[in-house]
Amino acid sequence: MGNWKAPPLGIAQGGFRRSRSTLNQALCLVENCSILHQHHRITPTLAFLDIKSAYDTIDRDHIWQTLQPSVSLPLLALLCNLFDKVNIEVLLSNATSYRFSPATGVLQGSILSPFLYSIYINQLPALPRTQPIEEVPSTDTRRFAQSINCLLYADDVVLIAAP
């Protein structure tokens, strides 16, 4: 199906990467808070989010649109069929539920689901940014602190707000 390259994960995402752990993200959060406090005398407000049923609620159309420039049409069609054309039954105590087709989400237990979820959640850090960042040298701590206003580790999220 040819060579393809996955869309890059943003710097705020620590999950789904080799040699990155929740500890790395925790240290990054401490560093960001320290920079804001030491250089700007700002104490940030942090909001830790637990996204309920994260894998079950995502919009697959967003994933397919994001993958379209990077993936061949046959591979994209295969992925769409694997996730969009699914019927599920639940077997419990020798009783089978009715068949249903989930309209949203990625399948729990699929080896592709963490990758597809990462593509979806990768858009989150850019959403809170409504003001353009001033053009300042990259070594300026103001720009560094503003450029990461959200940290992710898979489906764990911390929002960082500085007044």
Q: Are 70 and 4 in contact (CB under 8 A)?
A: yes
Q: Is residue 6 part of a domain?
A: no
Q: Is residue 9 part of a domain?
A: no
| Segment 36-87, tens digit of pLDDT | 888 888 888 899 988 888 888 899 999 999 999 888 999 999 999 999 988 8
| Segment 2-12, tens digit of pLDDT | 566 777 788 88
Q: Is residue 73 part of a domain?
A: yes
pTM over 0.85: no
* Phi, psi of 132, rounded to the nearest 5 degrees: -65, 145
Q: For residue 71, which of 115, 18, 122 has the smallest C-alpha distance?
A: 115
SS3 label, residue 161: strand
DSSP string computed for 84-148: HS--B--EETTEEPPPB--SSS--TT-TTHHHHHHHHHTTGGGTT--SPPP---TT-HHHHHHH-
The pLDDT value given to residue 136: 44
Q: Which domain holds residue 66?
A: 22-161
Q: Are 118 and 16 in contact (CB under 8 A)?
A: yes
Q: How many domains does the chain have?
A: 1
> Which percentage of the chain shows pLDDT scores above 70?
84
